[in-house]
Homo-oligomer: A and B are copies of this chain.
Amino acid sequence: MSKEQHPVGGSKTAAAPGPGRPRAFDEAEALEKALCVFWHKGYETASVDDLTKAMGLSRSSFYGAFGNKQDLFHQALSHYSRRALKTLRAVADAGGDDPVGAMMEALANPQGGRDGCMLINCLTELAPHDDEVAALGRQHLESIDEIIAKALEPSDPGRALDKARAYASLAIGTLALRKAGVPGERISQTLKQARSVISP
């Protein structure tokens, strides 16, 4: 009488083998595929059919492993946030003489191409009606500020956080341009101009 255990979210690493038939799919891979669908289509527009097809799962496996569409989405978004912040830190470390510029470029031109930043997309679509998404969004944005501030501290310890917030909002604001179809090249240019105009 053991019902509805969908251990993907529960166990940090691969669960103990245990008895019974093992999963025929890689949960992390499936989550990644779902992430792509949500990223590209948004939450509402992504149907369970879209998701299962992209993930290569039957509905049974889907619901058995991830609970339901909303649970899966929260897992995917949380995963996205962690990975995006990790990437941002890596960009800062590899940014050479201008880590802040490199980070702004990374924020303004995310991997998703025309799809922009998944977290900002989902914040816009869902946050006013989904407290969990709103909370994750606040946390994510705050983390971005802190990562940028850390890079600014050596040169301007007093106002590092305020500056970081300004740079972050500036970069995130340009995501609207990307959504509107302005080519990435022109966005980078705009960003550089903005920065040169900002710290003269």
User: Measuring CB to CB, which residues of chain A are less than 8 angstroms from any residue of chain B?
Assistant: 42, 44-45, 114-116, 120-121, 123-125, 127-128, 131, 134-135, 137-138, 141, 159, 162-163, 165-166, 168-174, 176-177, 179-182, 190, 193-195, 197-199
Contacts and interface: CB of A to CB of B under 8 A. Distances in A.
B180 A169 contact: no
As for how many copies of this chain the complex holds, the number is 2
A135 B180 CA distance: 7
B127 A181 contact: yes
Nearest to A121: B124
A176 B44 contact: no
B127 A179 contact: yes
A197 B159 contact: yes
Contact of A125 (B124, B128, B138): B124
A197 B163 CA distance: 6
A141 B44 contact: no
A123 B179 contact: yes
Given A44-B45, A169-B173, A114 B128 contact: yes
A168 B163 CA distance: 17
Contact of A173 (B42, B171, B190): B171
A159 B198 CA distance: 11
A178 to B, nearest CB: 9
A42 B121 CA distance: 12
Given A137-B180, A181-B134, A166 B197 contact: yes
A125 B127 CA distance: 13
Nearest to A174: B169
Chain B CB count within 10 A is highest, among A44, A115, A170, for A170
Contacts of A190: 162, 165, 169
Nearest to A136: B180
A7 to B, nearest CB: 30
A115 B195 CA distance: 29
A193 B162 contact: yes
